[in-house]
Every structure is written in C-alpha cells, then in structure tokens.
Amino acid sequence: MKTISMTTKLARLLCLSVAVATVGCGSSTSSPHDAGGDAAASNGDPVTGLKPNEWVWVPVEGAYCRDGSKTGFAVNLASPKSDKLLIYFEAGGACMDQFFCSAVATPETFGATEFVSWKAGAGSAPSKADAGLFNRQDANNPIAGWNMVYVPYCTGDIFSGANPNGMVPNVGPQKFVGYTDVSLDLQRIAPTFPGTKKVLLSGSSAGAFGAYGNYVQTTRAFGSSTQVYVVADSGPPMAAPYVAECAQTQLAALWGQDGSLAECGSDCSDPKSYFLDYVKHLAKAHPTAPFGLISSTQDSIMGLFFGYGNPGMCKDSTLPTGSLPGAEYTAGLKDCQMKLAGVPNFGAFLFAGTQHTSVETTASLDSGSTNVRASLLDPSGPDAGTIKLTDWLAKLVNEGKVSNVGP
C-alpha cells in the first residue's frame, strides 16, 4: 500500500473545498511525493508550495465576518515534522453599540486583501507577521520553532459569537459568528497538523478572550493525546463591579454566548461574574493544562472596554459610558487573582503601567518597553529580582507550569 507523506496530506487538507491561490495548491496526482520522492525543490515544497516561515492565506468555506464577507486564517510552517502548534487570535475591539462597533479596532471584514496588508505592514509600521510570538528571529521567543496559525478578528464578538442574526441599534444586522468560525477553522487546522503534541492557544485583547472561549472545542478537535495550553494577553476575566453586570448579561445575549459557551453550565450561573467563572470552570475542568494571563496593572484600552455600562447603565450611545479608572482596574486584577487563587494551574504575569498587549506587535518579546518586565516583590520581604516575560512564557509552554508574577 502506498504511503502518503505528511506534506501531501497537508496540501490536500489546505486545498479542501476551495482553491487557495496564495498557497499554490497543485494536483496531488503528479506529486513527486506520491512517487516516493522527498526532496524539496528550490522554490519550496513541490506539493504544498509552502516554504518554511512563509505566511499563506487559507479561506474557509462558511466562515464569515460580521458584515457577511468571507474570511479564513493564515498559516506559517516551521517544519512539517514539528509537533507543536500556536493558534493565535488577533486583537481588536468589541461590537456592542454604535461607538464600539464603529471603532477602527473593531474591523468588520478580513479576507485575502486584508491579509496582504497585515503581512506587509501598514506604512512605516513593521509587519505583525514577524512580531511578538510570530518573531522566529527572537532568540528568547520560546515558540520560535513552532508551527503557527493566525486567526484574524472581524466578528466583533471576542471570538465567542454564535448568533448570525445579531442586531445592534443604530448599526444594523451583524453576524456574530466568531465561535462558529473557529469551529470551521479547527475542522481544517487539526487534520492539517496530525501528530501535534502541544497546542498553545493565545491572543491579545479580544483574542485573549478568544483563547479562553475556544479552549474546549480546540481540545475536542485535536483529541486527548494533544496538550492544549492558554496564554491570554491583555484580557483579564474580571467580575462585577469592575465589569458591569448588565454588560456581561447583555453581551452574552447579543453575541449568543449562552450557546457557544454552554458547557460551563451551572458554573456560570452568576451574572456578576460570567467571564471570571468561565475561566475558573475551564481551569478546574482541565487541571493539568496551564492557563496564563499577561496584563499591565492599568491597561488603558481594556479600561475603556470594561467601562462599558459603568456605573451599571448599559444603553446604546454615540460615546462610551466611561473608562474604568486605573486604580479600579488594578483592584479588578487583584480581585481576579484572589478568586482564582485556589486554581493551581492558573497564573498571571502582571506589570506596572498602562500598556495594552505584549505579545502581538512588539519587535521582540523582551524589548520595546520597560513594562515587559515585572518585579517579584514581596511587600514584607526583600526584592526577589526580576522575571522576563519570555522566561515566564518558557516555563509555561515547556514545562506546563504557571506562576504569579507582579509588582
């Protein structure tokens, strides 16, 4: 019986259902791999058309942005033999009223054209495709040698939506299908990377919540032999009063989270702590999986998002109802840590300042801002020194161990 190579399988899976012109999919019947040849041509693998460290766009049939346009994901191979995979959810805003839905950071479309811009970088800005966790040249990046998948953000529902008929006053109908899209993505991603031993779900801002919210369906897609970890950047699961109760219930209904996150069951019955209780549920239900949070102590962007509805009035507006003050944001982080203190596989890397996101746009994970270091300070004891973000990440992804680091 003829053996089909890993790269042939990958090509067929990526080319499944739709033509992926940017991937360069060709006919597998004439593949030198089918004939037993394993040598790669100078222009990349002859079957997949993929070169190492080359980002390519993969449209996914049935996946949509909130405006109804089609979307997909991007893939970057380190090696077909790699057994480790990063699935990264892009940062962005949230669509819940006229102000937030119209924000630049809440895109409504992302397809092949937007992917080209993402890969090239905008103007003088460096390409996001080579920054942060995606930077393979960063010697301190603990996942530099992993295969990588980038999931763009265009659904406005922090990747948790299962409501294709959403309606936002003064904005119009919206397809809040972020969770549904990821489900379709996983149907392509999981079989494309057979033999994967470890998956890191990560994301920034909206993508941080996407990492939490899509954890269960990712474990199901890859199976019990694959470890799935989480590193959520700039997306702390705060509870009321730091995130208004009305905001939590309103967004759950608007985006269809009651369906997409239904596995939480009675563990998520308190409307005052829906987000936090969901993360606690995940960590307890998967006690051997590490869950890590990265956040500045007074994140100015997340403060704006968490300010929605405060002080307890959620209504449509053309202006935000207020930003969560820095001191209250810090208190919310401490409250989050306290309520998750009994969950040994949840840890946080907290650092002083207002910085938003640490692993998406920085040229190097330990450079660009002094805020990417956090002091291990015990108020009652001596300074224990400093811990680099990359060291904290390496311990999590390499050893499956979490720690709490903070000022």
Cβ contacts of residue 35 below 8 Å, gap of 6+?
A: none
Q: How many domains does the chain have?
A: 1
pLDDT at 41: 26
pLDDT at 260: 83
State which amino acid sits at residue 181: D
8 Å CB contact between 389 and 372: yes
pLDDT at 387: 78
pLDDT at 42: 28
8 Å CB contact between 390 and 133: no
Q: Give the three-class secondary structure for 105.
A: coil
Q: How far is CA 251 from the centre of its chain?
A: 19
Q: What are the φ/ψ torsions at residue 199 (nearest 5 degrees)?
A: -120, 130
Residue 214 lies in a domain: yes
Residue 133 lies in a domain: yes
Cβ contacts of residue 222 below 8 Å, gap of 6+?
A: 190, 196, 199, 228
Alpha carbon distances (Å) from 329 to 103, 127, 352:
22, 31, 12
State which amino acid sits at residue 258: D
Residue 372 lies in a domain: yes
Residue 372 lies in domain: 52-399
Residue 406 lies in a domain: no
Alpha carbon distances (Å) from 160 to 175, 203, 208, 244, 252:
12, 13, 11, 19, 9
pLDDT at 316: 52
DSSP 44: B
The string of DSSP letters for 87-113 reads EEEPP----SSHHHHTSTTS-S--SHH
> Consecutive sets of 10 residues in the chain, 407 residues long: mean pLDDT of each?
39 38 34 26 38 89 98 90 94 92 94 94 76 92 95 98 95 97 96 92 97 97 97 95 88 89 90 93 96 93 85 53 86 92 92 89 65 41 65 94 84
* Rounded CA separation 389/347 (Å): 13
Residue 5 lies in a domain: no
State which amino acid sits at residue 298: Q
For residue 181, give the CATH number of its domain. Answer: 3.40.50
* Rounded CA separation 251/155 (Å): 13
Residue 69 lies in a domain: yes
Residue 30 lies in a domain: no
Residue 353 lies in a domain: yes
pTM equals: 0.86
